[in-house]
Each structure stands twice: as structure tokens, then as C-alpha cells.
């Protein structure tokens, strides 16, 4: 629904949370269209909820709604929460290196309206994809990463992200390890597609690792980026069967299909406020 709002909540589990939230929304004249919840342990665990509702009334006074919710519900239940509106368009940057399949998948899904975001720029350490990106009407910034001068390159990228007030960074096969300084600027707001079924084959060239191991499944993993390479909270994964008949090139071809779909689903769910992080795990509320 174009006019939908969603409250996303994390709090200590206890009786009465759903009643308090749904009661508040009822009193506010809102009609709940979807409500999903999860508790890590009803006896003193952590409670997660995503409730979607119409916003006809909310558009009248978003400030008053949020102030009242904080005072009447979030404060008493010690909730961490956020309010997202379907009409919001988070500002997104896409980073890419040589391989463009994941980038182009995101651009196509953005163009068709599936990804409800404002893609403000594409940044790459290679010049290869300028023409394709500019055909989508999106600025392309080539920021080469010279050996031993990664910090300078990151400074340039961070300046571009800040200038565009970027809220989400997507690594669409961007093959540079981000420094702790970069990562801490965007906590749980950098999504990477790793080309293996993590935790198997973290690091570089996972398809060759998979071939040499003789696996019968290969996969792709979309995760939030943390300082530790490929260790961040997993958002989405998928696999495909392979066999002795597949060489490394064929594994890469089959893997690219997975990478495109897995990253697109992860970005879509993040944009729709469906992903909550708890430690190094995620709670993902389904479509």
C-alpha cells in the first residue's frame, strides 16, 4: 500500500506489548494491515514486532503521533522503535567493482519501482560501468583504490556519501575491504553480497574454494557489513545444487544468478523495515 506506515519495535519481552501497541493504534484511528512478532524467550527474552497500518490520519500530524506513542507506549515498555512510511524513499548509494550483475539487478528493480528508494549515486573503483549507470540517470563516481592508498579513496567515498546524505550503502560485489572507520559511520546500514553460503568460504574467491572442496551446493549470502570480513548479521541466503560436472566458471555463472536475487531481496526487505538486528543475528519479517 502506498499510504502504509510501519512501526518496528524491539523491547524486553513481557505480557501486554501487542495489546498496548494495537490499542494505541486503534485509539489513533489506524487500521492494522499486518502484524508480525517474535520473542527470543517469553521468560525475559527480547521481543520484536513489525506492525503495518494505514496512514490516512497519521499524515495529519506525524510529530504528535510519535510523541504520544513514545509517552504512552514506548517509554513504559522500554521500546527501541522506529516509524517508517511507505512513501519514504531512503537515500541509497551502490558500490561496485568489476562485476555488474548485482548492480544492474538493483538498478532494474529500482527502475521498475520494486525498490522504494532514491538511488543517489554509484561509486566504483573501476570506470567500466559508467555508461550503463548513467543511462539510468544516476551519477557514476570512479574512485580508484591505489595500492597502499585505500584511506584516501575511502575519504573521497565518504565525502560523496555525506554530500548526498546517504542512509544505506549497498556493496554490489564491491571488492574492497572497508576500514573500521568507514563501517562505524554506517552501523547496520551497509549491506554486502558475499558469493558463498556463509559461513563456508568466507574471504576471496569462494567459487574456487567451493570447486576445490567438491561441494554439491553453492550459495550466496547478503549480510550487514561489520569490521570483521563477511561476519556481519545475515539477512538472506540461497543455494543451488551443483555437481562434479561444473567447473569454476560454471559455478560462477550459477552463483551470479543467486547473488542477484539474494541481494535484491535483502535490500528490499531492509527498505521495507522488515529486518531487525539482534546481536549477530537478524529477525526478518516476511512479505
Ligand X SMILES: Nc1nc2c(c(=O)[nH]1)N[C@@H](CN(C=O)c1ccc(C(=O)N[C@@H](CCC(=O)O)C(=O)O)cc1)CN2
Specify burial of residue 262 (Cβ count, 10 A radius: 0-12, 13-18, 19+). Answer: buried
Question: Could you say which of 18, 85, 177, 277 contacts ligand X (CB under 6 A)?
Answer: 177
Distance of alpha carbon 79 from alpha carbon 235, whole angstroms: 22
Among 86, 118, 155, 227, binds ligand X (CB under 6 A): 227
Q: Is 183 in the site for ligand X (CB under 6 A)?
A: yes
> Are the C-beta atoms of 238 and 286 separated by less than 8 Å?
no
128 is catalytic: no
Q: Find the catalytic residue in 54, 205, 230, 273.
A: 230
The position carrying cell 570512479 is 142
Output 90 or 232, the one with its CB closest to ligand X: 232
Binding residue for ligand X (CB under 6 A) from 18, 175, 240, 261?
A: 175
Q: Grid cell 517508517 — which residue?
A: 84
**174 scored as a contact of ligand X (CB under 6 A):** yes
Here the cell at position 165 is 546524505
Other CB atoms within 10 Å distance of the CB of residue 104: 17
Contact segment (CB under 6 A) with ligand X among 16-24, 59-67, 129-137, 224-232 equals 224-232
State which residue, 60 or 204, has the beta carbon closest to ligand X. 204
Q: Does 254 bind ligand X (CB under 6 A)?
A: no
Of the candidate residues 23, 187, 203, 247, the single one contacting ligand X (CB under 6 A): 203
Instruction: Tell me how many residues contact ligand X (CB under 6 A).
Output: 16
The overall longest dimension of the chain from CA atoms, in Å, is 62
Instruction: Name the minimum Å distance from CB 124 to ligand X.
Output: 12
Task: Provide the H-helix boundaries in 28-171.
Answer: 62-69, 101-111, 130-134, 150-163
Q: By C-beta, is 16 or 203 nearer to ligand X?
A: 203
CA distance 224 to 170: 9
Positions in the binding site for ligand X (CB under 6 A): 171, 174-178, 183, 192, 194, 203-204, 225, 227, 229-230, 232
Catalytic residues: 230
Amino acid at each position: 500500500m502506498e499510504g502504509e506506515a510501519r512501526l518496528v519495535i524491539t523491547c524486553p519481552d513481557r505480557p501486554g506489548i501487542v495489546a498496548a501497541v494495537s490499542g494505541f493504534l486503534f485509539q489513533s484511528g489506524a487500521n492494522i494491515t499486518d502484524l508480525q512478532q517474535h520473542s527470543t524467550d517469553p521468560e525475559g527474552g527480547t521481543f520484536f514486532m513489525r506492525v503495518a497500518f494505514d496512514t490516512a490520519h497519521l499524515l495529519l500530524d506525524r510529530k504528535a503521533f510519535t510523541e504520544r506513542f513514545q509517552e504512552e507506549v514506548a517509554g513504559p515498555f522500554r521500546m527501541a522503535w522506529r516509524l517508517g512510511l511507505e512513501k519514504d524513499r531512503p537515500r541509497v548509494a551502490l558500490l561496485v567493482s568489476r562485476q555488474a550483475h548485482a548492480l544492474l539487478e538493483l538498478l532494474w528493480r529500482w527502475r521498475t519501482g520494486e525498490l522504494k528508494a532514491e538511488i543517489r549515486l554509484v561509486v566504483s573503483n573501476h570506470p567500466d560501468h559508467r555508461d550503463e549507470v548513467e543511462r539510468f540517470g544516476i551519477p557514476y563516481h570512479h574512485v580508484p583504490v591505489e595500492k597502499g592508498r585505500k584511506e584516501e579513496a575511502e575519504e573521497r567515498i565518504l565525502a560523496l556519501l555525506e554530500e548526498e546524505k546517504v542512509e544505506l550503502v549497498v556493496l554490489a560485489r564491491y571488492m574492497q575491504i572497508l576500514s573500521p572507520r568507514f563501517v562505524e559511520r554506517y552501523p547496520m546500514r551497509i549491506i554486502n553480497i558475499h558469493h558463498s553460503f556463509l559461513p563456508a568460504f568466507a574471504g576471496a574467491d569462494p567459487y574456487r574454494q567451493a570447486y576445490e572442496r567438491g561441494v554439491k551446493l553453492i550459495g550466496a549470502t547478503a549480510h550487514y557489513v561489520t569490521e570483521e570480513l563477511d561476519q556481519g548479521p545475515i539477512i538472506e541466503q540461497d543455494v543451488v545444487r551443483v555437481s562434479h560436472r561444473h567447473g569454476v566458471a560454471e559455478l560462477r555463472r550459477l552463483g551470479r544468478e543467486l547473488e542477484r536475487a539474494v541481494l535484491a531481496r535483502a535490500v528490499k526487505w531492509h527498505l521495507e523495515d522488515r529486518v531487525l538486528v539482534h546481536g549477530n543475528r537478524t529477525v526478518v519479517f516476511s512479505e
